[in-house]
Amino acid sequence: MRLFVALEVPAAVKQAAAEVMGRLKGAGGEVKWVRPEGMHLTLKFLGETDRSLVPELCRALEAACRGRGALSLKLAGCGAFPGVRSPRVVWLGLGGELEELAGLAAAVEEALVGLGFPPESRPFRPHLTLGRVRSGRRGRRGGGKPSAAPLGRAVAELARWRGPAFRAESVVLMQSTLTPAGAVYRPLHTTTLERRGTES
């Protein structure tokens, strides 16, 4: 089973992301855009995982989320990895309670290390993926494919774009099945983050 852990995002966020994708598609480029309905905020990618581990994963996620409240976040800016000059992955950034979000991601990471999942070597950079440039080739010195340049400029123009604020209230253990039409996601377990201002 191909698994990952993610925060669910509401419909308003997916709609805003769809509108940004619509603007970027006009820039051209060979991009595989995500389907807005499947959009999520990845906390930890697990990869191929034995089905027998699912119950332990669920318990670990419940423990990692215990005592943690729902997060107030907002969409803030558009960017690309590794950069707009040679975009490989196009994304929307986040603002709001980012310190609390990083703490949640770290708690999930720590809980899963105990089950044999190696810690992520790169720093946690929360984002919503919009699309991936299809070609795997790197360009010559200084840039990617020529067709990616207009896309990079379009992304740069949206660097200061701002989208809706939202509350992230649930952490989901998700199964991802790859198909020719794109990944199909199926939630296996949902952990609800506590409401602020309430006693558990």
| CA 194 from centre of chain | 21
Contacts of 48 by beta carbon, 8 Å cutoff, 6+ apart: 1, 2
Tokens of 78: 């558009």
**Helix/strand number for the chain, H first, E second:** 4, 9
**Cβ neighbours of residue 167 under 8 Å, at least 6 residues apart?**
10, 70, 71, 72, 73
Report strand pairing: 31-33 vs 128-133. Answer: antiparallel
Displacement of CA 47 from its chain's centroid (Å): 15
Q: For residue 79, what are the β-bridge partners?
A: 91
Return d(Cα 34, Cα 32) in angstroms, integer: 7
Residue 67 DSSP code: T
Residue closest to 14 by CA, chosen among 35, 44, 45, 28 = 35
* Active-site residue set: 40, 127
Total residues found in the chain within this entry: 200
